[in-house]
Amino acid sequence: MSGKRVLALYAVILFGFAVVLCRIYFLAQNPAYAARAEAQSTVSLALPTRRGNFYDCNGLPLTGLEMRWQTLCFPGENNYPRLYSETDSTGQATLYQNRNRAAPFLLETMRDLSSLGLRSFPAAKRYASVPLCQHLIGYLAADGHGAAGLEKALDDLLAGTGAHDTLRCAVTAQGRLREGETPQLIQNDSGAVGVQLTISRPVQRAAEAVAAETMTSGCILVLDVQTAAVRASVSVPGYDPDDLAASLGASDSPFLNRALESYAVGSVFKPVLAAAALEAGLSPEYECTGAVVVDGQIFRCAGGVPHGTVNLAEALEKSCNGYFVRLGQQLSAETLLQTAEAFGFGRQIAVAGRLYADSGNLPTAQELAQSGQLANFSFGQGSFLASPVQVAAMMNAIACGGVYRTPFFVEGTVDETQAAVSEAFSQPQGKRILSEKTVDALREMLEQVVAEGTAQDAAGLEEGAGGKTGTAQTGQFTPEGVERKNLWFAGFYPAQKPKYTIVVLQDGQTDPACSSAAVFARLCTALRILG
């Protein structure tokens, strides 16, 4: 080969080499290509979004009670056998799916695994294994946002922007951490805040324990007498927040928050008529024959048993339907409606955001112009419906000296970094609806209902109690033809200086294991122990 040809060949080779060098230089100087190259060796993992927690009235957490960790796992660390026992069934499935993965991943573990040479980051489990206040708090959807209850009503506060903390790991082509590198935690403030409820965790746990022991379907509400703050809100049956699908087809409506729904109330409404009569200076005597006829309709006392000649106190004690039918006639429909409205019946009670206790149904003046409708309304039947929250507000007005206060559930927002309330929500003001004279007389009557009347299952409590039972017809029947009934007790405890107003409802019952008055008594005993 001639010298010229050799030189030409060398020139071509040198030119090609120069082109390659220029290309490399160009790629190195191009930000887009540089970023792409970095991404090929850097993996970002999103930690669970920080969501604000719920707290009780004393600052005790109601969510996030059980600690969990997000543990960073790399390929080639014998993850499966080493970590299998450190996680739950969901985590075990994650381990199996990632057994051959050539990239790092996060695994939820039940303890900090730093002792195994792994990096673990705290990430509390949202709901406890035994959920606390679950119907009021609600649950989350798959996307992490609130789907029910206060989780949904206050989602904007609890979720904030939804920003994640992230882990950045410089890895090899096999997905292992590069030598000399340390995972970097990039923290992002989501702006999420906590929410403080009026719930008392000890009182809530006590109410939940009593409900679990005594009830199959119903609710319990506990109010602080002086403020009407809701200290406990329980609904049964419950559901598994970690396996919602398992409860979707259940016939006993486990997702229903019964404390906020409306029901036929029956005789638990009679204190309203008693209050109206006392305010009007009335305490008539009527002869009870076991039934009263109004325009051809027969209204019977329980079992059709005659009570003889009874006054207001005796009629309340014995829950005499005939007496209250006649009392309603004497008081007039207008007076009954005005008194019921003063006690809060017929209107929604706000819980938070767009979450409300149902307004129920208060008959209109036109409906009560019919004598039969008025008779039914006089002992809490007919078209009249009310929520347990409304019934609790009614009894609380009596317990606290004649001042009506709307029950409330939320105190304000919490700055979780400072562990302090950052914004207190305004609460409705109290309004006097009964004179002290009326209240004194009515409370004495309600104490007698417990001591000698239909609520004797609640008798014998230290410091005593007052209240009223209710057995409401529902018009619903079992396949055997037995009518399902709503069994109520609304009362206050202790008798002389009431601290708690308590409502117990067992809905759709035929043969409950415990009366609602007995459930009330068990809870009062537990509350006394708590102090």
The pLDDT, as a whole number, for residue 230 is: 98
- Burial (Cβ within 10 Å: 0-12, 13-18, ≥19) of residue 42: middle
Tell me the per-residue pLDDT of 362-405, one tens digit each, with 9 for 90 and over: 999 999 999 999 999 999 999 999 999 999 999 999 999 999 99
- Phi and psi torsions of 322, nearest 5°: -60, -40
Give the residue among 434, 500, 505, 515 at the shortest CA–CA distance from 465. Answer: 500
Enter the tokens of residue 68.
């969990």
**Would you write out the chain's pLDDT as a tens digit for each of its 531 residues?**
565 665 555 555 665 565 555 555 554 455 554 444 444 589 999 998 889 999 999 999 999 999 999 999 998 888 888 899 999 998 999 999 988 888 999 999 999 999 988 999 998 899 988 889 999 999 999 888 999 999 999 999 999 988 889 999 999 988 889 988 999 999 888 888 999 999 999 999 999 999 999 999 999 999 999 999 999 999 999 998 888 888 888 888 999 999 999 999 999 999 999 999 999 999 999 999 999 999 889 999 988 889 999 999 999 999 999 999 999 999 999 999 999 999 999 999 999 999 999 999 999 999 999 999 999 999 999 999 999 999 999 999 999 999 999 999 999 999 887 767 778 888 888 999 999 999 999 999 999 999 999 999 999 999 999 999 999 999 999 999 999 999 999 999 999 999 999 999 999 999 999 999 999 999 999 999 998
For residue 483, the surrounding DSSP H or E stretch is strand 483-493
State how far the Cα of 149 lies from the Cα of 244, in Å rounded to an integer.
14
Which pTM does this prediction carry? 0.88
Domain covering 201-410+426-530: architecture = 3-Layer(aba) Sandwich (3.40)
C-beta atoms surrounding 358 within 10 Å: 17
CA dihedral of 373, 378, 383, 384, whole degrees rounded to 10 = 150
Enter the tokens of residue 147.
């789907």
State how far the Cα of 506 lies from the Cα of 514, in Å rounded to an integer.
10
Query: Contact at 8 Å (CB) between 458 and 467?
Result: yes
Enter the tokens of residue 296.
């051809």
State how far the Cα of 153 lies from the Cα of 19, in Å rounded to an integer.
64
The pLDDT, as a whole number, for residue 14 is: 62
CA dihedral of 175, 178, 181, 182, whole degrees rounded to 10 = 30
Query: Contact at 8 Å (CB) between 349 and 389?
Result: yes
Domains of the chain, by residue range, sit at 201-410+426-530
The pLDDT, as a whole number, for residue 32 is: 53
DSSP state of 216: S
Q: Helices marked H in 197-350 — which ranges?
A: 201-214, 270-279, 312-318, 321-331, 333-342
State how far the Cα of 35 lies from the Cα of 499, in Å rounded to an integer.
65
Tell me the per-residue pLDDT of 69-87, one tens digit each, with 9 for 90 and over: 999 999 888 888 889 999 9
The pLDDT, as a whole number, for residue 3 is: 59
The pLDDT, as a whole number, for residue 36 is: 47
The pLDDT, as a whole number, for residue 2 is: 60
